Amino acid sequence: AGSGLPGTEVDPAILDRISGLGSGTRTLAVYEQRWAAPAGPLALYLHGVADPGNIGTILRSALAFGASCVVLGPGCADAFGPKAVRASMGAIFSVPLARADGPDGLPGRSIALAARAGAPLSGPLAGDVTLLVGAERTGLPAELLAAADEVREIAIHSESLNAAMAATVALYELTRVQHG
């Protein structure tokens, strides 16, 4: 009320029932899902990232580091589900989302992230790039690793990072000179 936006007032008990939050939500909004075409110069392709919290966190990192889009591949969680939207901290409304069955036709060179499987990731990279990120437990399928233009790893002391952290570190590395 009073915002000038179209809306409907409902009883607070109804909001409590439909909200996934434990405390008093006062406003809910309904948005149309908007899907974009994959675009460069820096795209992120996710394959099998099934945890919605990871999807939302990756969207937040994509916004922070200026990625052009996030492309959801097979086996990815619903980016518009409540947990993903919450984890994105609003980034879902700013980062273009696309869908694709695989990395064919995505912008620029494809760089697959794999644990202990390639040269260390080092940026920045010239030209358009699509960064391929796989599921936390299984990583990228062998056929995607084989089809990638490059396979890189993040040099770490432990066995692995979760998908959201790997994507965040990779985005930082690929854009770090641009940001200072």
**Predicted local distance difference test score (pLDDT) of residue 64:** 97
Q: How confident is the model at residue 121 (pLDDT cuts 50, 70, 90)?
A: confident
**Predicted local distance difference test score (pLDDT) of residue 19:** 67
**Predicted local distance difference test score (pLDDT) of residue 4:** 73
pTM (two decimals): 0.86
**Predicted local distance difference test score (pLDDT) of residue 25:** 58
**Predicted local distance difference test score (pLDDT) of residue 21:** 64
Instruction: Tell me the mean pLDDT in the region 147-151.
Output: 93
SS (H, E, C) 101-140: CCCCCCCCEEEEECCCCCEECCCCCCCCEEEEEEECCCEC
Query: Residue ranges of the alpha helices (H) in the chain?
Result: 12-18, 52-64, 82-88, 142-147, 163-175
pLDDT in tens, 44-99: 999 999 999 999 999 999 999 999 999 999 999 999 998 999 999 999 999 999 99
Between 178 and 105, residue with greater pLDDT: 105
Q: Where are the domains of the chain?
A: 42-175
Superfamily of chain region 42-175? SPOUT methyltransferase, trefoil knot domain (3.40.1280.10)
